[in-house]
Amino acid sequence: MTSPSLYWLRNDLRLADNAALTAAAAQGPIIFLYVLDDETPGEWRLGGASRWWLHKSLAALGTRVPLTLRQGAADIVIAEVLAETGATSVHFARDHAPWSPALERRVKDVAERAGASCHRYGGMLLHEPEAIRNGSGEPYRVYTPFSKACFAAGEPKPLRPVPSFTAWNGPAASDRLEDWGLLPAKPDWAADFPQYWTPGEAGAAARLEAFIDDGLAHYADARDRPDRNVTSRLSPHLRFGEVSPAQCWHAVRAAQLAAGGKLDRASEKFLKEVLWREFSYHLLHHWPSLPSKPFRPEFEAFPWSGNPHGLHAWQKGLTGYPIVDAGLRELWATGIMHNRVRMIAASFLIKDLLIHWTEGERWFWDTLVDADIASNAASWQWVAGCGADAAPYFRIFNPVLQGVKFDPQGAYVRKWVPELARLPDALIHQPWAAPALVLATAGVELGRNYPHPVVDHGTARDKALAAFQEIKGAA
């Protein structure tokens, strides 16, 4: 009997365009191993919403291939599975989380000790982080030249089809997915998630197709509008590798070509956003402390406030600023928040409430279905002003003006903050400015069914700028 090859599934829960799977298939019958490893990432073990997604994605994949599910430190589990099955090769896709290089070295060691060959492949990114360097051979710190270098590096490789493979039918003990407890216990805060998401490779492909048919044409003009449904919502599918960035790239290029120039602007804009993901990983790879330490060290001395009351109000969507509250409530109900609103909500936490950006990063880590160690950290640092190529700290979003500009009729706020739904468009982003009669007619009682603002934005802004002055001298 041909000995099996072990394919260690990680953030690549798909069969198509999968170099590791293609190589494993060429070696012999495959053991499809997924390890739920809460030990190696330590404080960055998967958050609640990601666990929900993982359960559903593995369930979907499990209808197509037999999965061997194990729990524990991945290198130890792989050593055990190699000993139990006599697999003679290990194949996996490279990952770029800060703990991954050491883990991947340990996996190589255990494979070699078991007499198995070990093979690592790319695919999670369009370009390996070492491949894109500036003229001096250094990693990039600024997005625009980075993205230009990516475009100059050429189109991604052609896609790999699903390989023909044989699944190994020898014995390999597996946990039951249901026993992992990935889904929420009561109360089921994810009860509405299935309305919004279909985790798995088929769901990802359907989402990509729907975006190209309905969203792409409007993407360049309306991607900043949370009241319009034009962005791709591919982020959780990309996060779990149910679709590869190369598949997204080629699909958009094909649509662009077919449209004979009509989609040029939209396509470029979309591909540039995909390159923000790439840039986040580039930064994380070269600066692995990104999730916990400010890229600009002077921010270590920033006088953050503890403010547990403010943090709680923010998390619950009860700050009294409608666009911020709508975002946090959208997040809780769906596991996602529109990008523009993420920026507004993050700015509010950091600059209006003076709460450390890592508190917001951690809340997002737990509640986003697309919680991604690189994009989350890089984006929070970007908003805080302490990241590479970040928005300057003194640029402070005004949540009222942002609401008026990006949700002009208040449709987004009306959807997620229904207690304000009957306010007129002109006042929906600042209910405290409404005359008593207007509030009463709309059924809004500030302090009773919708909060007063937790801070006055103007005063908070001055405080934030003063705090920034304190560290500016240290820069």
* Contact footprint for ligand FAD (CB under 6 A): 223, 231-235, 238-239, 273-274, 276-277, 280, 339, 342-343, 346, 364, 368, 370-372, 375-376, 379-380, 383
Please, are residues 444 and 423 in contact by the beta-carbon 8 Å criterion?
Answer: yes
| Cβ-contact 326, 417 below 8 angstroms | yes
Q: Which residues neighbour 142 within 8 Å (Cβ) at sequence distance 6 or greater?
A: 388, 389
Q: Which DSSP symbol is given to 10?
A: S
Q: Which of 298, 280, 279 is nearest to 290 (CA)?
A: 280
The alpha carbons of the chain give a radius of gyration, in whole angstroms, of 24
Is the Cβ of residue 19 or residue 238 nearer to ligand FAD in the bound state? 238
Write down the least CB distance from residue 284 to ligand FAD, Å.
11
First-to-final CA distance of the chain: 65
Per-residue buried b or exposed e for 395-428, using 16+ beta carbons within 10 Å of the residue's own CB:
ebbbbbebbbebbeebebbbbbbebbbebeeebb
- Positions marked catalytic: 273, 276, 304, 339, 357, 380
Closer by beta carbon to ligand FAD, 337 or else 439 = 337
Residue (79 or 341) nearer to ligand FAD, CB: 341
H-state helical runs in 200-242: 201-210, 216-222, 235-239
Burial (0-12, 13-18, 19+ Cβ within 10 Å), 389: middle
Asked if 225 and 406 count as a contact pair (C-beta separation under 8 A), the reply is: yes
Q: DSSP string covering 64-82, please?
A: TS-EEEEES-HHHHHHHHH
CB of 211 to ligand FAD, least distance (A): 7
Q: Which residues 6+ apart lie within 8 Å of 27 measured at CB?
A: 5, 88, 89, 91
Minimal distance in Å, beta carbon 357 to ligand FAD? 8
Secondary structure (3-state) at 325: helix
Output the six-digit token pair for 271.
Answer: 């591909």
Q: 210 or 257: whose CB is closer to ligand FAD?
A: 210
Q: Which residues of 36-46 are buried (b: 16+ CB within 10 A; e: fewer)?
A: bbeebeeebeb
Q: Which is nearer to ligand FAD, 307 or 375 (CB)?
A: 375
Complex with ligand FAD: residue 216 or 439, whichever CB lies closer: 216
Q: Which is nearer to ligand FAD, 276 or 332 (CB)?
A: 276
- 3-class secondary-structure state, position 314: helix
CB 308 to ligand FAD: min, Å: 20
Q: What is the CA 440 to chain-centroid distance, rounded?
A: 41
Q: Closest approach of Cβ 473 to ligand FAD, in Å?
A: 27
Q: Going by C-beta distance under 8 Å and a sequence separation of 6 or more, which residues neighbour residue 89?
A: 5, 6, 24, 27, 28, 111, 116, 117, 118, 119
CB of 442 to ligand FAD, least distance (A): 30
Q: Minimum Å distance from CB 347 to ligand FAD?
A: 9
Q: Cβ 372 to ligand FAD, closest distance in Å?
A: 3
**Closer CB to ligand FAD, residue 68 or residue 376?**
376
343: which 2 tokens? 């920026």
Instruction: Report the length, in residues, of the chain.
Output: 475
Nearer to ligand FAD by Cβ, of 34 and 380: the residue is 380
Q: Residue 473 half-sphere exposure, CB side, CA atoms within 13 Å? A: 4
Name 232's Cβ contacts closer than 8 Å, sequence gap at least 6.
207, 208, 211, 215, 248, 270
* Residue in the block written with tokens 């982080």: 129
Closest CA to 64 of 182, 173, 246, 205: 205
- What minimum distance in Å lies between the beta carbon of 365 and ligand FAD? 7
